[in-house]
Amino acid sequence: MSETWQCSAVLSGEQRLEVLNLLNRTEAELGREAMDEGRRRIVVHGWPGELWLKYEHGVLTQFAVVNGIKHVTVEMCGGGFDPELLAAVLERHAVIDWWTRGLNRSDQGHEIRTLQLLELRLPVASVGVPEGAVLRSFEPGHDEEAWLTQNNAAFADHPEQGAWSRVDLDERTNEPWFDPSGFLLLEIAGQLAASCWTKVHELHPDRFGEIYVVSVDPAFQGQGLGKVMVTQGLAALRKKGVGEAVLFVDESNTGARKLYESLGFKLRREDRLLRFAR
């Protein structure tokens, strides 16, 4: 018989291993990430949070993370949905947002956002850097504040990428996967105009690449720099022997979707954010 969900503010050493094993098994079964990178990092580093676990006959069968500020966000290992967990979380929070990964549209909750995962086979033709502009790699210890200013300005209205702090950036640049050679910056007249941060998923069986973050400062938008940076990022991935690249884009971002489609990106998966209230 299944036990009910239980909540913990911090995982014990044994629980961390159980959760990491569950995440790894789920990723092997699905052939994709089991959980958003930021929420997985909570487990990897043993950080406190609102952590939900479910056991059957003493064996961990499911795990979920609840985090966020304005509205708390729920994500289960594997990106599924569980009415029992929903009821338990709603006892603690009046409004919650729930990520479902790759599931069909549901009559559960109110859909407030759809995130598309696009994929592309490499190589693709690169767009050249504008005359007078300088394309270079990110320099740790030197470029952090300039990049945060440029990126936060570009994503001022974005729910996740528009308010990065130095802590947010440092957490990622201190991860084992971080490679500054794949973090490209474009300077025009001495000002950081655009950037493209790429990531190679070295431990995945297919060793694919990702356009992790791409942004153009509002003062330089409308000049085609988005296409320049995406194609330069794809070229950087190809130089590392990567044969396939992916990226996430909001379904509502028609301009970005049009750009990616023009480069040959195809839809692989849709993730949906559902809102629930008491």
Delineate the domains of the chain, giving CATH numbers in brackets. 6-101 (3.40.630), 119-270 (3.40.630.30)
- 12 contacts: CB under 8 Å, gap ≥ 6: none
The answer on pLDDT for 252 being more than 90 is yes
CA distance 167 to 148: 11
Summarize pLDDT for 46-67 with one digit per residue, the tens. Answer: 999 999 999 998 999 999 999 9
pLDDT of residue 1: 41
pTM, to two decimals: 0.92
State residue 16 phi and psi, 5-degree precision.
-55, -45
pLDDT of residue 137: 98
CA distance 86 to 29: 24
